[in-house]
Structure 1
């Protein structure tokens, strides 16, 4: 189900994603207290498609890799997360990748990232030619991040979820614009 078109009706970006999460709640996908494994089980049944969580098989340095990665294959969506992530960070990574699923974002993973994680023994140029992929757009990443924030706000606080702090969001956006996004790419 692609929810990108539904985003345009809300007044602010935070309202847009809060509405999407409220829709997931209405469909009975959130348990109380929240449990990510239970959510994923319900989400799979609701979508009629399997989701598998896998630690990224990083056989060495993880420098430059994204924290998470989504690969949709025949009959299953695989969410990779960085091994050693804290439980809260792991949930954020999963929620971010679920955002990509819900918005039907095309998988634009950089071939170099896929090559390093999935095909460490293959020549990078061979993988690049086979995949012919580009990097994520800023819009896609912002949508997935905003969804992850709204998702986890609801998961942690339920109906008592505090309103997003627009002042903090504005400052974060200005810092990102001025300094660019450093560190890991994508997530």
Structure 2
């Protein structure tokens, strides 16, 4: 995955397609469990990475407007902490978790500077932040102003797509409905005229 660098506010469709293709290649070997679930995914990632991944709901103080939607904190070489919001839908929570787990998979460095973290958490105090989080890599899901964050967001969607594709049971009614509603914009059919 590329370094975290600023991307233009207007991203062309061709550059998004290229980035998605790169993300798909980068995710080759990513352990999507069957059946899919976040706990099974975390276990598979822990086995592959040799690190413990701890998932915890975000404390209410970290969920103020303008704060991070999710947060990954790498605590030394053996453990990472992933914080996710309790607010929002289960779909949103899962997507935030996938986003942060992509940061973990690619071992992204900190995308959040200490100053940004202080801005997101003004109630914690400068001394507390400096004492506990100095030189700790953090990645937070706040915006997509870097290529790394945009690629991470795209990668989370790819994982969700792969999990859904692998779990579809199109023989039953629910599976067919899921398949149909998952792709509402099918390619246009070409109508042939009768000669």
TM range (shorter): 0.5 to 0.7
Structure 1 distance, partners of 2:138, 2:49, is 27
Residue matched to 2:151:
143
Q: Residues 99 and 147 of structure 1 are in contact (CA less than 8 Å); yes or no, is this contact kept in structure 2? A: yes
Deviations 1:25-66 (A, max 9, x none): xxxx22222111111111101110000111111238611111
**Whole-Å Cα distance in 2 between the matches of residues 159 and 118 of structure 1?**
39
Aligned residues: 152
CA distance in 1, matches of 2:116, 2:81: 15
* Structure 1 SS opposite 2:60: coil
Structure 1 stretches of at least 4 aligned residues deviating more than 6 Å after TM superposition: 116-119, 132-136, 159-163
Judged with a 3 Å threshold, the aligned counterparts in structure 2 of structure 1 residues 59 and 41 are, in CA distance, closer, same or farther, namely: same
Q: 1:39 maps to which residue? A: 41
Task: Tell me which residue corresponds to 1:106.
Answer: 109
How far, CA to CA, are the matches of 2:63 and 2:93 in structure 1?
Answer: 19
Q: Distance in 1 between matches of 2:86 and 2:162?
A: 25
Structure with the largest fraction of helix: 1
Gaps of 5+ in 1: 6-10, 166-187
SS at match of 1:89: helix
Unaligned runs of 5+ in 2: 4-16, 169-178, 186-195
Query: 1:172-183 maps to which residues of 2 (within 5 A)?
Result: none
Instruction: Note if 1:81 corresponds to 2:84.
Output: yes
Structure 1: distance between partners of 2:63 and 2:161: 32
TM-score for the superposition, normalised by structure 2: 0.62
Q: Deviations over 1:90-110 (max 9, x none)?
A: 111111112222333211324
Counterparts of residues 8-157 of structure 1 (less than 5 Å): 12-24=18-30, 29-59=31-61, 62-74=64-76, 75-111=78-114, 114-115=117-118, 120-122=123-125, 124=126, 127=129, 131=134, 138-157=146-165
